[in-house]
Amino acid sequence: MIEPTNICNLKCPMCPSGNGSLKREKGYMNFHLFQKTIDEISKKTFLVVLWNQGEPFLNKDFLKMSKYASDKGLITLVSTNGNYLPDADELVKAGIDILVVSLDGATQETYNKYRVNGDLAKVLENVKNIVKAKKENKSHTPFVKWQFIVMRHNEHELDKIKNLAKKLEVDKLQLKSVQIYSKEDVLNFLPENSKFRRYKIKGDDFELKFGIRNRCRRLWSQPVVNWNGEIAVCCFDKDIKHKMGNIKKTSLQEIWKNQAFQQIRNEILTDRKQHEICTNCGEGIKLRIKETKISQNK
């Protein structure tokens, strides 16, 4: 996972970048550092996730980054809110294999309750243009996945969303459960229908339905390189409280195998709950409620 930026153009209320709770320095990864990172990992992996916190397309070099990674033989996976996309033709030619568009409403009123400052009509038009550009360029990529986070204020729109996804001819519609952080979030965002929840209510509190297991594949499979080269222990370490190293000074391979990483891996296998960042993490549980192939169901 490589973070092009931790800056975002939206104000989503439960996102650290959007709600202002992210404490670490904000900025954009420069292309030289991105090249250095890709050059090191390209022979050791097959896929790169190009986001963490923030909206990746805000980085002025993002299309150049995705193309560079693609030219190195890597599958590129990008997630966006879809409000700040470049020309569709340029995007289709930029080597992006999978494009996840987060879009959680069938009406502007519903959409804006979570994607604050977002423009639903603009996002829909952007998606429409990408699908059109794919056809014009006879390209199978990017595979366009519409991700819909099911929340209390939008769960009634699922039928509309499915019809809209078919109309837009996206490749897949993915329904995902919402992550909450407080009792207020339970009232404001947790769906009424329990089948759409990853949590169970316990008294006046909440907890993950399936508990926390002493395991985490991410610590063995997904290094997180933030915009300034800092390596986070995982994508849930939003403010990099666990200092693992910086790729500007040390190779990623050395950092990945250092004593700090080995220690936290052992702790996770013994008692994962001792780490606060793990207590609300969805690793090891089902987060996706349903995935529906759309483009083949015309």
Residue 80, domain CATH: 3.20.20.70
**Whole-angstrom Cα distance, residue 295 to residue 94?**
22
- ω before 142 within 30° of 0 (cis)? yes
Beta strands in the chain (DSSP E): 47-49, 75-80, 98-102, 143-150, 172-177, 199-202, 205-208, 224-225, 231-232, 288-293
**Whole-angstrom Cα distance, residue 81 to residue 35?**
25
Phi/psi-derived region of residue 175, left when phi > 0, alpha when psi is between -120 and 50, beta in every other case: beta
Q: Which of 72-81, 119-128, 179-188, 244-253 has the lowest mean pLDDT?
A: 179-188
Residue among 280, 248, 242 at smallest CA distance from 261: 242
Measured in whole angstroms, the distance separating CA 152 from the mean position of its chain's CA atoms is 21
User: Considering the domain boundaries, does residue 205 fall inside one?
Assistant: no
User: Considering the domain boundaries, does residue 46 fall inside one?
Assistant: yes
**Residue 148's pLDDT band (boundaries 50, 70, 90)?**
very high
- Looking only at the bridges linking them, the beta strands covering 205-208 and 199-202 are antiparallel
User: Considering the domain boundaries, does residue 44 fall inside one?
Assistant: yes
110-124 burial, b if ≥16 CB within 10 A, otherwise e?
bbbbbbeebbbeebb
- Token readout for 191 is 């769906």
Residue 196: its H or E element: none
pLDDT at 285: 66
User: Considering the domain boundaries, does residue 69 fall inside one?
Assistant: yes
User: Considering the domain boundaries, does residue 9 fall inside one?
Assistant: no
- Looking only at the bridges linking them, the beta strands covering 172-177 and 288-293 are antiparallel
Within 13 Å and on the Cβ side, how many CA atoms surround 185?
Answer: 17
Tally of domains within the chain: 1
Taking only the tens place, the pLDDT of each residue in 258-298 is 999 999 999 999 999 999 999 898 776 667 777 788 876 44
Q: Alpha helices, DSSP H only, in 213-251?
A: 218-221
- pTM equals 0.94
| CA dihedral over 54, 57, 60, 63, signed as positive or negative | positive
**Whole-angstrom Cα distance, residue 197 to residue 223?**
28
Taking only the tens place, the pLDDT of each residue in 93-104 is 999 999 999 999
User: Considering the domain boundaries, does residue 8 fall inside one?
Assistant: no
User: Considering the domain boundaries, does residue 99 fall inside one?
Assistant: yes
Give the mean pLDDT of 169-186. 94
Cα dihedral 119, 125, 128, 133 in deg (nearest 10): -120
CA distances from 3 to 105, 160, 253 (A): 26, 33, 18
- Please give the residue that has the higher pLDDT: either 292 or 131: 131
Taking only the tens place, the pLDDT of each residue in 208-262 is 888 888 999 999 999 999 999 999 999 999 999 998 999 999 999 999 999 999 9
**Whole-angstrom Cα distance, residue 247 to residue 36?**
9
What range does the domain containing 153 cover?
16-182+218-260+287-293
- Looking only at the bridges linking them, the beta strands covering 143-150 and 172-177 are parallel
Give the mean pLDDT of 99-127. 98
